[in-house]
């Protein structure tokens, strides 16, 4: 992978991470079109650029994160502590997947676009269902947090949008749009950064292990971070206006393209 490839793929990852169109699915499609079918290289790059977009979440939502940390530091069962508890509860399902099914999930990257296409169609279906949901609750409950966390665990599949799945799940449960969007963006911070840290400790990000140069990883990280900052702010605005259903049409088109491309 050249640094120019990394720049293009990093920008793609950043722009699609927060939009409900599956960043992992788009990376798979783009890498297939570029002729890169090395699953290990694809996976390593995906880990790096996902970490970059999580860092963009820290920048865009820093006020909310600071408020949560300050409230939790008081060691009282206040609103901030309860919110943090809900975030940790939501991480349990994806943690279980990471512990027991990591190798299986990793094997899906670089395994063709058929699964990506089907999961993009599933994403579109979820967005359509969410379009008809009405807010019925004041706050995200603990049970909602767990259910949203379960949906995030399923979204490790390439092509199934993590943001689209978790936000759609929250909307279907009756939570408010802006609350679900922020919760969706915050709940993924620790799992993704934790995965990137573990890969770093195991040496998985070295050129010898991944086949990607340090320059390409740095360029990809920087591109994903910058474009992620833009996309995060845009997505929060889109959710407030309730325009997610339009992304369903795009997911259908992208999904059909991926399926046809794989068959041909």
- What's the pLDDT tens digit per position in 56-114? 888 888 898 999 999 999 888 999 999 999 999 999 998 898 888 777 777 776 667 89
- pLDDT tens-place string over residues 140-194: 999 999 999 999 999 888 889 988 999 999 999 999 888 898 899 898 888 777 7
Burial class (CB in 10 A: 0-12, 13-18, 19+), 114: middle
**Euclidean distance between CA atoms 181 and 115, whole angstroms:** 26
Tokens of 103: 């190798």
149-152: long-range contacts, CB 8 A cutoff, minimum separation 24: 149/89, 149/90, 149/91, 149/92, 149/93, 149/94, 149/187, 150/93, 152/90, 152/93, 152/94, 152/187, 152/188
State the pLDDT confidence band at 205, using cuts at 50, 70 and 90.
Answer: low
Q: Where are the strands (E) in the chain, listed by range? A: none
Q: CA angle 150-159-16, nearest 5°? A: 100
| Structure confidence at residue 200 (pLDDT) | 61
Burial class (CB in 10 A: 0-12, 13-18, 19+), 64: middle
Task: Output the CA–CA distances (angstroms, integers) from residue 101 to 153, 154, 156, 157, 166, in the order listed.
Answer: 11, 11, 10, 11, 20
How far apart, in Å, do the first and last CA atoms of the chain sit? Answer: 25
Name the residue with tokens 């269902």.
Answer: 129
What global pTM score does this model have?
A: 0.84
Taking residues 6-23, what's their average pLDDT? 86
């Amino acid at each position: 992978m050249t640094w120019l490839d990394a720049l293009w793929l990093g920008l793609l990852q950043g722009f699609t991470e927060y939009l409900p169109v599956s960043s992992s699915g788009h990376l798979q499609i783009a890498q297939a079109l570029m002729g890169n079918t090395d699953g290990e290289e694809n996976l390593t790059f995906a880990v790096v650029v996902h970490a970059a977009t999580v860092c963009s979440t820290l920048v865009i939502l820093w006020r909310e994160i600071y408020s949560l940390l300050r409230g939790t530091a008081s060691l009282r069962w206040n609103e901030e502590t309860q919110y943090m508890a809900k975030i940790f509860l939501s991480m349990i399902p994806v943690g279980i997947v990471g512990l027991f099914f990591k190798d299986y999930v990793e094997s899906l990257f670089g395994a063709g676009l058929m699964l990506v296409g089907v999961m993009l169609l599933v994403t579109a279906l979820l967005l359509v269902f969410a379009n008809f949901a009405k807010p019925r609750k004041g706050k995200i409950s603990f049970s909602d947090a767990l259910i949203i966390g379960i949906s995030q665990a399923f979204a490790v599949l390439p092509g199934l949008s993590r943001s689209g799945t978790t936000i759609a799940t929250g909307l279907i449960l009756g939570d408010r749009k802006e609350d679900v969007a922020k919760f969706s963006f915050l709940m993924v911070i620790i799992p993704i950064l934790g995965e990137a840290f573990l890969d770093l400790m195991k040496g998985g990000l070295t050129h010898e292990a991944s086949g990607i140069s340090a320059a390409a990883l740095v360029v990809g990280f920087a591109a994903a971070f910058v474009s992620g900052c833009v996309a995060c702010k845009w997505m929060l605005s889109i959710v407030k206006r309730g325009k997610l259903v339009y992304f369903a049409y795009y997911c259908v088109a992208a999904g059909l393209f991926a399926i046809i491309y794989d068959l041909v």
